[in-house]
Structure 1
Amino acid sequence: MTVLERPDWVARRHAHEQRVDGWVGPHLSRRKAGRRHPVEDFLFTYYSHRPAQLRRWHPGAGVFLADATVEDLGRDYVARPAGVTVDSAAVRDRRADSIAWIRTLLTSTAARPAQLGCFGMHEWAMVYRQSQQEVRHDAWPLRLSPAETATVVEERGVRCSHFDAFRFFTAPARPLNVLTPTRERQHELEQPGCLHANMDLYKWAYKLSPLVPSELVTDCFALAHDIRTLDMRASPYDLADLGYPPVRIETATGRAEYAAAQRAFADRAAPLRARLVAAIDGN
């Protein structure tokens, strides 16, 4: 059991809140003003973890917080003489099935080689054969005409292994994918080169809270934020006016740029995935 004296854990909590506020503050300001941002707001709207939950600090399992109370930290904590700690046994018992499912997904994904040949075509498949008025982010224009966008999809093909991307494909685009991902096949199909699989490390981290420290959740959030940036730069949307120059995956140069960034994200995700597994295993 690691012991944190009150000044130490209060400092860690404050540092976490300051780090998170760099993302949460602007998001809440835009929400209050009724403005949307296709990159910066995505993690707060797509995932179920609310800004206040992300901001809340947890030390992780196996850490004793001296001079703290259950009221300071919440219901997943248990009081001990002169402090509190995460009630790991109760949390693991209550979420046993979910934790086992997440662990299997993380380890099976890590065991596969990274596949880097999709070139972000999932975002193109989400607008395939749609007009500007029909697309999900209709406030921002497409870089190419609908017909030109469709031609890119048809010529490049789609090689998406991630169910939560595939389910947003337009109906005409789904038969063009070389796979048919389902929730039931998620353990079988996910691989560590997939942007969405690596982005989802944030989801698995917060679902494992408070067993994992909030610093790890935030590291996964930071990775997901940077992945979302590439995801939308390589998409068919024109976000140059928002400060996101396109990665033109319809060209050989753009595909090479995308694959290099994809490899870098896979390398960055690997230790985070390992840290999540270690937290599940109690290491």
Structure 2
Amino acid sequence: MESVAVVAVPFPAQGHLNGMLHLSLLLASRGLPVHFAAPAQHVRQARARVHGWDPKALSSVEFHGFDVPEYASPPPDPAAASPFPSHLLPMCEAYVAGARAPVAALLAAASSRHRRVVVLYDRLSSFAAPEAARVPNAEAFCLQCAAASHDCAWTDAGRRLLRARGLGGAPPVEDCMDREFVEYVVGTQGDSRSPAFAGVVANTSRVVEGEFIDVAARDPEYRGKKLFAVIEKAMASDEGLAMQERAKELRESIRASVAEGGSSREDLDEFFAYITR
């Protein structure tokens, strides 16, 4: 029986697919068998839009495309009260309805061949956590694709840290989403308290968001969980930062963080060691 396999369950939106695929490629580059499960059209999208990797690296990940139920696809409403693309909500609901069975089947197959199955699921795909809980040798980790400061906007009472860091002028999170999507998010997050929810992988860097990561780690939802801050490989590229002197200094700090011995590299090393223990 092989040792450890990873099953990645992204949320089917580009900013979520991309972060999950980068993390999947990082883990596959270390020799782990990685399975990436998403609706077939979103698998094609993720593969076509990935950046910062040799195209041959995609062959190191096994992609599993599945079908979802048909759903309404209305055009965006330019007169809507919220700028949030709520016309995509039927797709989100169809995805959750259609993904459970193929993800469960993939976990069962991986479980029979591996000592441990590590389930990496997007926070908006938290239905995967209770599916992992049904597999005796599975352990699930939630990938938080948004910035840690986004978490603080929900959990930091009075947005004290955001204001102290000059971000107090940002609109409240609830003003950026319509009510239906907030209800959808809350509904999916309810499953993340499953016993299989072992920890959080944050797509960020301690160099940039160290204080925000500390605040997020104190959230009751994360209490007793492992938290790893693993930034995308591509964030070290020249295109990743603004053309300002301060951003140039930040770029060097981020490059150092993803280099050997850097904070993000250390978190990735720690995460890899933890899931392969």
Who wins on radius of gyration, i.e. which is larger?
A: 1
TM-score computed with the length of structure 2 as normaliser: 0.28
Structure having the higher strand fraction is 2
